[in-house]
Amino acid sequence: MNAFWIILTGSLVATCCSLLGCYLILRRMAMVGDAISHAVLPGIVIAFLLTGSRDSVPMLIGAGLLGVLTTFLIEFFHRYARVQADAAIGVTFTWLFAIGIILISVFAGQVDLDQECVLYGEIAYVPLDLWITSGGLSMGPRTVWTLSVVTLLIAFFIIIGYKELFLTTFDPAFAAAIGISTSLWYYLLMTAVSLTTVASFESVGAILVVAFLVAPPATAYLLTDNFKAMLVISVIVGILSSIVGYYLAVWMDGSIAGAIATVTGIAFTLAFLFSPTRGILLRQKRVQGVSH
């Protein structure tokens, strides 16, 4: 049963991250998830100092607020300071992460936290944190319930705002011309990314969240030119990576998160080499065939 909960957790994270990652890839903001996962550290520390509790609710609220602030600062530096998007991401998350580390070191006597514990969860521990009702009934791991709600919210957000997200991603000038607020949908998308990242990284680890945000969408991008197909393929790649990665980790007796992230990289490499439209090996064969 533990295997089922671990694979289900990985699949839920893969679904959320892959769907949002498609938009981030096309907007050239693939590493914003990595930025958020590090920049939320001060929010977690401040939430602990204010509440004195390590309960997940105040932690999620504090981290979520800092995640939204991170996306605001990235866009502010990029739009008003004319800093390149990748530089804005790097500057923002490094100094916010540094502030979090300083807060931990200054309030070391009051904060029963460390940055590794906060940022790098372990998916293998998911089955241990059970939701037990007052009547003693086990409802399964808390993380699965949290991620299920987040997955439904992300799916609902993409379905409802598909046209607006599509236009602001592919042609923001046209979207603005027909009255769609590009800034509003940018911040809504970044809020969704913040919610997903914060809800996921404590249980599965920041590295796995970033891997799911980037690798499955990038793999799907190499396999199709249809955006709806890209969304579906990226989710399928993420879920299959969770399944294969888990059993690879069991076989190797190694890190589950590391194995899953490795499988996403292998999937991308295979698409890079053998994609019917963009695969480098097949493209070389077509060029050689034409030359002959």
CATH number reported for the structural domain that contains residue 118 in this entry: 1.10.3470.10
- Highest average pLDDT, of 87-101, 225-239, 262-276, comes from 225-239
* pTM for the whole structure: 0.84
- What pLDDT band is residue 146 in, cutting at 50, 70 and 90? confident
Interval 168-195 mean pLDDT:
87
Question: b or e along 129-160 (b: 16 or more beta carbons within 10 Å of the residue's beta carbon)?
Answer: eeeeeeeeeeebbebbebbeebbeebeebbee
Query: Is residue 171 situated within a structural domain?
Result: yes
- What pLDDT band is residue 268 in, cutting at 50, 70 and 90? very high
- Domain residues for the domain of 36 are 2-122+142-291
Alpha helices in the chain (DSSP H): 2-26, 32-39, 41-51, 56-80, 85-106, 115-119, 142-160, 162-170, 172-177, 182-204, 206-223, 227-252, 256-274, 280-291
Spatial separation of the C-alpha atoms in residues 104 and 276, rounded to whole Å: 50
The residue ranking higher by pLDDT, 21 or 130, is 21
Query: Is residue 152 situated within a structural domain?
Result: yes
- Per the structure, how many domains does the chain have? 1
Spatial separation of the C-alpha atoms in residues 237 and 240, rounded to whole Å: 5
- What pLDDT band is residue 283 in, cutting at 50, 70 and 90? low
Query: Is residue 117 situated within a structural domain?
Result: yes
Query: Is residue 128 situated within a structural domain?
Result: no
Q: Does the pLDDT at position 118 exceed 60?
A: no
Query: Is residue 110 situated within a structural domain?
Result: yes
Interval 214-240 mean pLDDT:
93
pLDDT > 70: what percent of the chain? 87
